[in-house]
Homo-oligomer: A and B are copies of this chain.
Amino acid sequence: MRFLAACSRAPVDATPVWLMRQAGRYLPEYRAIKEKMSFVEMCRRPDIAAEVTLQPLRRFDLDAAIIFADILLPLEPMGIGFHFTADDGPVIERPIRGARDLEGVHTIDAASDLQYVMDAIRMVRHEIDGRTPLIGFSGAPFTLASYIVEGGHSRSYAHVKKLMYDDPVTFSRLMTLISEVVVDYLKAQIAAGAQVVQLFDSWVGWLGPYDYELLVLPHVRFVIDQVKGLGAPVIYFGNGASGMLHHVAQAGSEVIGVDWRIEIDRAWEQLGEVAVQGNLDPITLLGPPTAIEERVADIVKRVGGRPGHIFNLGHGLIPQTPPDNVKYLVDAVHRLSAASI
């Protein structure tokens, strides 16, 4: 399978492609389910999560599936309540802002506490086994910490950074705890059948390299060290991190995801001997096929046929994306890359 081959930088007949948030609101069949239940309920019902995971595979020639779940799911068994507002914004009910707030927060046993995710993974594997590989995932430590400390989305990440500066010990305790949870969660997903796992560091790009290297990178490295060697390659995706890819590479994952803010060949130079995933601007998919074609061709040309490229967006698909454009993209990646290999 192209995707697994590319993860270990083996030659492929065409570049594999999957898309972050490929299971989501841009699909009418997803919205039909979403009308009947909440987002969190969709995650918690293995049959629904499995169905939603499979939806994009029925429409598009995708080279990987990614289990439908949310990066905040582990928070509940950790003792940190959360919910989503009507417009899908996450709200942490009791944000952690100091040492005291850590009381009562604890590690989890993902296999049982998040059994519904493992069940969904097993169901999807059963459906597509031998045809399409399945990716499991987790939020990376800083991204989860930023939700937990900020209490939701943020424009400035002022609370989580203030905690880092004012009380590095509490910040480090929180990151250590989250890292243990992430390791356990990823191991459980691999045991349930995830063939590759992705660590989403969606907000790490709001850190400067000094803070990243000193306070965050050691935790990411710990997670990857613990998970590596279990038979599932690790993809580490740092959104907004194009100015500090030399540090990101130190995290040690086999595959590194890059956003769309840097040319992929320049990124690769800084990353070294790894597979690279990315890096089309997701908003390109709102444009006409000619605009998509032009930008896919630029990425394919920059990669220049070297093994280990996994085509993806530089961030998640947005709900306004026309499904026809997704089809155009996936086919264009295969067509243009096959011609260049």
> Which residues of A come within 8 Å of B, CB atoms?
156-158, 161-162, 164-166, 205-211, 240-244, 260-263, 266-267, 279, 281-284, 286-288, 291, 295, 298, 314, 318, 320
Task: Find chain B residues with CB under 8 A from A240 CB.
Answer: 240, 261
Which residue of the partner chain, among B211, B244, B281, contacts A211 with CB atoms under 8 Å?
B281
Which residue of the partner chain, among B165, B261, B318, contacts A286 with CB atoms under 8 Å?
B165
A39 to chain B, nearest CB (A): 18
A336 to chain B, nearest CB (A): 15
Query: What is the oligomeric copy number?
Result: 2
Check A208 against B286 for contact (C-beta < 8 Å). Answer: no
A261 to chain B, nearest CB (A): 4
Q: A314's closest neighbor in chain B, by CB?
A: B208
A156 to B284, CA, bound (A): 11
Closest 4 CB pairs of A and B: A165-B287, A242-B243, A243-B262, A165-B291
Check A158 against B209 for contact (C-beta < 8 Å). Answer: no
Task: Find chain B residues with CB under 8 A from A156 CB.
Answer: 282-283, 318
Task: Find chain B residues with CB under 8 A from A298 CB.
Answer: 210
Assuming A156-B318, A318-B156, is B244 touching A283 (CB within 8 A)?
no
Which residue of the partner chain, among B157, B164, B242, B260, contacts A242 with CB atoms under 8 Å?
B242
Task: Find chain B residues with CB under 8 A from A314 CB.
Answer: 208
Which residue of the partner chain, among B162, B267, B283, contacts A283 with CB atoms under 8 Å?
B162
Q: A281's closest neighbor in chain B, by CB?
A: B208
CB<8 Å pairs between A and B, sample of 16: A156-B318, A158-B320, A161-B283, A161-B284, A162-B286, A164-B287, A166-B286, A207-B281, A211-B281, A240-B261, A242-B242, A242-B261, A243-B243, A243-B263, A244-B262, A244-B263
Check A261 against B208 for contact (C-beta < 8 Å). Answer: yes
Q: A214's closest neighbor in chain B, by CB?
A: B294
Check B205 against A157 for contact (C-beta < 8 Å). Answer: no
Which residue of the partner chain, among B205, B210, B260, contacts A208 with CB atoms under 8 Å?
B260
Task: Find chain B residues with CB under 8 A from A157 CB.
Answer: 283
Task: Find chain B residues with CB under 8 A from A158 CB.
Answer: 283, 286, 318, 320
Which residue of the partner chain, among B165, B261, B267, contacts A205 with CB atoms under 8 Å?
B261
Which residue of the partner chain, among B206, B210, B243, B288, contacts A165 with CB atoms under 8 Å?
B288
Q: A155's closest neighbor in chain B, by CB?
A: B153
> Which interface residue of A162, A165, A166 has the most chain B CB atoms within 10 A?
A165
A262 to B207, CA, bound (A): 9
Extra pairs beyond A158-B318, A166-B291, A210-B263 (4, CB < 8 Å)? A158-B286, A209-B263, A243-B263, A244-B261
Check A165 against B284 for contact (C-beta < 8 Å). Answer: yes
A61 to B281, CA, bound (A): 43
Assuming A156-B283, A260-B208, is B288 touching A267 (CB within 8 A)?
no
